[in-house]
Structure 1
Amino acid sequence: MMGRRAGVARNITTTYVARLASILTLFVLFPAVARVVPASEYGVYLLTAGMASLFSVDLGMAGSATRYVSEAHVLGDDSRMRSVLAGSAVFFVGVGIFSSGALVVTIVFGWKDFHFTPEQASIGLVAGAAAVAQVALGSIAANERAILTGLGRIDLANWILIAQAFTRFGATLVVLGVSREIIWVAVVDASAAVIGTFLFVIIRRMVLRTRFEFGRDFNWAVLRHMWGLSRDMLVMSLAATVILYAGGVVVGLTSSAVSVALFAAGQRIYQAAKEIPNSLTAPLLPIATANHLDGAGRNKWLYLDGTRFSLALVLASLPPVCVYMATLVEWWLGPNYSVAADVAMLLTASVILNCLHLVAVPVMGGQESLGWYSVLHGMWAVSALGLGFLFSSEFGAVGMALAVALPLVILEPLYVGRALRKTGGLGSSS
């Protein structure tokens, strides 16, 4: 028991360190680039980066692979493990090919819908090529990371992410010192993706020496079973991607490249705020899976205690940030980005509501009961997009932030009620 607790503590601690490294890299690099690159050119780069994130979808299979790798590991079923590994590999390779191809089509045929000058369009093509490489490699890395997480060794995945973040940080500062052209920043992003993917493959093979052969171990029945949980995670993954990354695209279609940069600045702060509760939840899926297999009803307390702790962290940190947001943004980026403070304040305030259901996602994933959450996530994404086109055409970046935050006022009580029912927090798990 002590060993298991130590492993959980190690996984949670390294997750916070990895997320902190990523956040600090983003926060330091954003003003470093913004001060030497025109906002219009930076907006084009941020748009392509946002599109890369938008196309970097795992269709819910990362969570599903983690869950079933964890199950096979807990049960000591090597045959099942090989089938899960084979199915996951086939799926992620296919997704990587499809997603990177779809991004190529979008870049080739979609630039005409954005209000780019010829110079901005050429920057977008180079940055877009780097984004395509990141999407293709990211699919492979996501598979390896999901397997490590399922084995209870998310700490190793986190150290790779830390190395990746510092590599990107140092290399970006070097290229900014040598050249003020934004395209080199995009090249650094793609190079960091190559290094990270290589490390994920090597480390996962060192930890899990189980090897699979497609002809012997691939099983459509196992993949269909994984897809059963993945369908719900697919909807949630796509919805989360839309919520987090589609805002910049919507702003780019309805406003200008400068507005994209303003929204992206506020979104960086939002992403940092979300990591306060998110970093706690990342290692919980294998624990919830083991609790579910044990049948002792421990997931009720995993959800309740985890949510209390998550809420305490959020309430201790985010309200002061919201109060002094304008000062923080001016210190960070200067007065030209003052509108980003309003974007960040709206999005960050929404995290206080959002954190009430975040712990429930891995808990109910471990119980294979995410169906209703996928519906709620879909409603949030559709609402954010619809309101985004309506509000951002009138209010720009601030309108898009309002569109993301507003639906939670109605949806969050539904999230919480479902979690309490499914974990037994209301006296029933039906």
Structure 2
Amino acid sequence: MSTAIALLKGSVTRVSQTFVSIIVAFFMMPFLIHELGDHWYGIWTVVGSLAAAYHLFDMGMASAVTRYVSRAFGLKDDHQANSIINTALIIYVAIAAAIIFVSVGASYASRLFIDAPPDKDIVQLLVLIIGISIALEFPFNALAGVANAKLRFHQVALTRIAMTLLGAGLTWWFISHGYGVLAVAVITFVTARISNLLYLLICKSAFPALKFSRHLASWGSSKELFQYSAWSFVIAIAYQLRNNVDNFVVAGFLSAASVTHYAIGLRLVDYVAQFLSQATNMFVPIFTGYHAQGNNDELHSKLLLVTRINLVLALIAGGGLVIFGQAFISRWMGPNYSDAYWVMVILLIGRMVGFANHPLNSAMYAANKHSIVAKIDMVEVGFNLVLSLIFVQYLGLIGVALGTMIPLLLLRLFVLPLFACRAIEMPVKDYYLSMARPILVICLPLAFIFFWIQRNAQITGYTDIILFATIMSIICAATGIKLAFSPSEKSELRKLVPGKRLKYLI
């Protein structure tokens, strides 16, 4: 299977995975909110944010394992790949033990923050179950990079689709039969274990020479991993803070019920971002190859191509969410959650800018220059926290969203391109010029559609949303394909499209 076809196959299945997740959440989120209530769903959201902090224990090791395993495969050195994997496994077992220890402490500490005595035991168990579940996932991170380097994206995606459907089915059944939030936690635990075992089978199939032995671990490999992972760890801290600090600010200054309202807007933005990321976020191994070969021209051209692809997708998806988001939230969750719309719009602006220039992040990882990304991320998170704490007191939920969006927008749009382009020896003007054409050719039809709908259409139900969103997507996608790319870039895109008839559309 060629690299282009493998990437296309991976992109399609990863997008399908995200689509299934969105459809499942479309039904499950209102179901859980209505069955559990705003209070318990808000607590479940906060516990999830707290549990996500456990991923910081990874210390950036997964990205280091991915890079060095990919490098070993590129050099066809199976022994080195096994050395890295087994070294990482020992490190991850120690990390898992530490997480279990911390989870026990956190479960008891959680009682201090709960007022109602009956809730204390439930929250304590939630924190403990989720913490142990995450701890048991860590040893499997030693295999990070195996499936990706072998381009088994589609197998991983299909596994996740199956686990999503299984988890949703079990959750619906147990909650419908009177079980509470603890059932959701137990189901999450069980499906995670099944997913881990299936991932192991995929990696073993992709890398038959995979061996597990403490004798294969080496100090040299651990030194390489820790040196690379240091800045990746900083990026991971920034990622977790960026994605979870808002929930704590809202819960602390407003209420647990307000977290639910904020989470609706945030969740929609997350779904769109995940959907887009699954489609194109697969280029670190490709960029790493170009960098290892010293082929800067190819690295630059592919970086600009992927940036334009990301920008076209971000404008279409983001524009659609702005146009139809208010009607969707009202129909999906009910009119009482209309305040989630502006939270969604504000967060969406920053996230779409971040997605559009994410190829720069991939290039930085490939070139071992990810310290630049780490420093920018930490500055962003610092401003995020400060602004959110200030704005929430005056603007409520909108203030928290603005505190998140403003630093992300400014740093990703102006600061990251300046430093990243310098690091990979690419003129920054080439980067900005590559973005100009997609912005122009997509924003014009989007603006026309927006104003036409405002004047001539009344969108109230799912049928209306699907119909108009489909028309909008077709118009904008056709315009983008025809006008947003150069002739040479269109030639590259045609290589990914099966069938002669479809190639003529590009």
**Rg bigger for which structure?**
2
Matching residue's letter, 1:154: F
The Cα of 1:356 is off from its aligned counterpart by 3.2
In the TM superposition, 1:45-60 aligns within 5 A as 45-57=44-56, 58-60=58-60
Between the aligned partners of 1:409 and 1:213, the Cα distance in structure 2 is 45
Moved more, 96-105 or 42-51: 96-105
Which residue number in structure 1 is paired with residue 389 of structure 2? 389
Name 2:63's counterpart in structure 1.
63
Q: TM-score, normalised by structure 1?
A: 0.92
Equivalent pair of 1:281/1:362 in contact (CA under 8 Å): no
- Single out whichever of 218-227 and 102-111 deviates more from structure 2: 102-111
User: How far has the Cα of 1:376 moved from its partner?
Assistant: 0.3
Residue 319 (structure 1) shift = 1.6
2:164 pairs with 1:165: yes
Instruction: Note if contact 2:65-2:144 (Cα within 8 Å) is conserved in structure 1.
Output: no
Structure 2 counterpart SS, 1:38: helix
The equivalent of 1:33 in structure 2 is 32
In structure 2, do the counterparts of structure 1 residues 202 and 54 end up closer, same or farther at CA, with 3 Å as the change threshold?
Answer: same
Cα distance in 2 between the residues matched to 1:398 and 1:143: 40
- Structure 2 residue identity aligned to 1:219: S
Superposed displacement of residue 271, structure 1? 0.8
Instruction: Give TM-score scaled by structure 2 length.
Output: 0.79
Q: What residue identity is the alignment partner of 2:423?
A: K
Q: Please, which moves more after superposition, 154-163 or 389-398?
A: 389-398
Where do residues 141-156 of structure 1 align in structure 2 (5 Å cutoff)?
141-156=140-155
Q: CA deviation at 1:24?
A: 2.6
Whether the 8 Å CA contact 1:164–1:196 is kept in 2: the answer is yes
Tell me the CA shift for residue 214 of structure 1.
4.4
CA distance in 2, matches of 1:313, 1:334: 29
1:344 corresponding residue in structure 2 = 344
CA contact (8 A) 2:384 2:407 kept: yes
Q: Structure 1, residues 274-293: CA drift from partner, whole Å, max 9, x if none?
A: 12442244321111122222
Q: Helix, strand or coil for the counterpart of 2:36?
A: coil
User: In the alignment, what sits opposite 1:302?
Assistant: 302
Cα distance change of structure 1 residues 95 and 215 upon mapping to structure 2, 3 Å threshold: closer
Q: 1:302 to 1:111 in 2, by over 3 A?
A: farther
Cα separation, 1, equivalents of 2:140 and 2:341: 34
1:394 Cα deviation after fit: 4.2
Alpha-carbon distance in 2 for matches of 1:396, 1:133 = 34
Residue 19 and residue 63 in structure 1: after superposition, are their counterparts in 2 closer, same or farther (change >3 A)?
Answer: farther
Q: Which residue of 2 aligns with 1:129?
A: 128
- Which is bigger in relative contact order (C-alpha 8 A, separation at least 6)? 1
Cα contact 1:315–1:352 (8 A) shared by 2: yes
Structure 1: give runs of 5+ residues left out of the alignment: none
Whether contact under 8 Å (2:33, 2:41) holds in the other structure is yes
Residue by residue over 1:175-225, the C-alpha shift from the partner in whole angstroms, topping out at 9 and shown as x without a partner, is 122115222122211111111112112222232222445442211222211
| Structure 2: gaps of 5 or more residues | 430-506
Q: Percent identity?
A: 21
State the shift of 1:77 in Å.
Answer: 0.9
* C-alpha contact 1:55 1:100 (8 A) present in aligned 2: no
Pairwise CA distance, 1:326: 2.3
Query: What residue in structure 2 maps to residue 78 of structure 1?
Result: 78
1:145 positional shift: 4.5
Task: State the match for 2:426 in structure 1.
Answer: 425
Match of 2:209 in 1: 210
Larger deviation: 102-111 or 41-50? 102-111
Going from structure 1 to structure 2, the CA distance change for 1:155 and 1:253 (only over 3 Å counts) comes to same
Asked whether the equivalents of residues 111 and 121 of structure 2 are also in contact (C-alpha less than 8 Å), the reply is no
Instruction: Note if 1:369 corresponds to 2:369.
Output: yes
Whether contact under 8 Å (2:364, 2:373) holds in the other structure is: no
